[in-house]
Amino acid sequence: MAERTPVDGGFFMPAEWAPHERCWMAWPCRGSLWEEGLDKARDAYAAVARAIAGFEPVTMLANPSELEDARTRCGAEVDCLALPLDDSWMRDFGPSFLVDGKGCLAGVDWGFNAWGNRFHPYDQDALVAERVLAQLGVARYRAPLVLEGGSIHVDGEGTLLTSEECLLHPNRNPDLDRTAIEDLLRRYLGIEAFVWLGQGLDKDDTDGHVDNIACFVRPGVVMAVTCDDPADPNHAILRDNLARLAKAKDAKGRALEVIELPLPREARYLDGQRLSLSYVNYYIANGGVVMPSFGDPQDPVALEIVAASFPGRKVAQVPAGDILVGGGGIHCITQQQPLV
């Protein structure tokens, strides 16, 4: 008999703008990743946690030995909980939460291999989803698929947005083709329609996570990153993604409205490697949006576009440069738990 999947139990993944019970985060700890930037990263994570706590409860997971440091920096408005960690990217190794529309919560525990075995060790991070779901006492569905939460975005109505570069990369699921991956996403997230973008940002350590290039802002509407500099490798990549979005239909058969969001004007580098700065890597909270700023001329432009796209929500901009040093942004370090 085939293993029961979330869809068999009536579960699906809601949109990020659906009401939240809380936000989950994880405290920076991998010294080899952050090096001398670890202290600044912790302050930056704490600033994001406090900003989100202005809208909804936040739980920060931290290694037992670093729990007091997390509590001190985050302050009384953020709950801190001891849990073994290797790293701090809650979006990617945390559970993808599901609801059934009848008051029940569940979660998908994906396979996690640290972005194609890029970092070691990752055995504790690979257990975070299971441990969080056990802490909450909710059903856990273990998916036979290596996947990070930052590689997908859903509209809550059966449509999933992703990139070929990441989901079809041989370092994740070498034995699964597009059809097999789509089938698993249907069965574990309740997906009916797929919008496949091509590549993610140039030189992105995540192999092209979609949360750096596009997201749904409401059903039928996608915000997509653009680049107006033809000399930038991202120009052709993002133009191709816009062309794909122009042809796409969602699960309801709608053509997608696209809101364009420019990349930061100034490229940033660390040890000669370009950092994947993107304004679309934001967190949609209860009544708000917490988005990055980079000390870039485009910061106020991006703020205005995001604010206009989320009427009725307060938009808070938090400096994210010290988070980007580790390879991700605000969306990458957060994971929403829906309210049931």
* Structural tokens at position 189: 């997230």
* Structural tokens at position 42: 């912790």
Q: Coil, strand, or helix at residue 128?
A: helix
137 backbone φψ class: left, alpha, beta (φ>0; ψ -120 to 50): left
Are 213 and 278 in contact by the 8 Å Cβ rule? The answer is: yes
Are 224 and 259 in contact by the 8 Å Cβ rule? The answer is: yes
Q: Coil, strand, or helix at residue 44?
A: helix
Question: What separation in angstroms does the CA of 223 have from each of 153, 286, 295?
Answer: 11, 19, 22
With residues binned 3-state (H G I as helix, E B as strand, rest as coil), the percentages for the chain, rounded to 5, are: 35, 25, 40
Which helix (H) or strand (E) element contains residue 80? strand 79-82
Residue with the two structure tokens 């290596």: 146
Active site residue 332: yes
CA 185 to chain centre: 16
Q: From the candidates 29, 80, 215, 332, give the one annotated as an active-site residue.
A: 332
CB atoms within 10 A of CB 30: 20
Kindly list the catalytic residues. 332
